[in-house]
Amino acid sequence: MRTDVSKINEKTRHQDLTEGLMMFAGGTSKEFNTGEWRTNTPVVEWDKCRQCLLCAPVCPDSSIPVKDSKRLDFDYDHCKGCGICAAVCPFNAITMKEGK
């Protein structure tokens, strides 16, 4: 029953879909470039950022990667530009830029 879900797309015939549209893989959302939906883009001004890390946990799309206790730049493949990070930043280090 296990099928390669990456081979299923909007052209797939009904006979070739998985039972109950079950997904036989984990974390498949990474495969989708949902950052394409973004109309506003957050930008970090690194000289203002104090690495307080308040932004990372509030991101609904887990698009603020954290490594060695420091946030990195946005994962723009999955950031949808909601602006929550900009709103919580105490140092106004994140600004929302129009467009991608």
Residues that bind other proteins (CB under 8 A): 1-2, 10, 12-15, 17, 19-28
- How are beta strands 40-44 and 66-67 bridged, if at all? unpaired
**Smallest distance from other proteins to CB 8, Å:** 8
Q: Which is nearer to other proteins, 23 or 52 (CB)?
A: 23
C-alpha 10 chain-centroid distance: 22
CB 67 within 8 A of CB 83: no
What amino acid occupies position 6? Answer: S
**Smallest distance from other proteins to CB 16, Å:** 9
3-state secondary structure of 55: helix
Q: Which is nearer to other proteins, 34 or 40 (CB)?
A: 34
Q: Which is nearer to other proteins, 20 or 90 (CB)?
A: 20
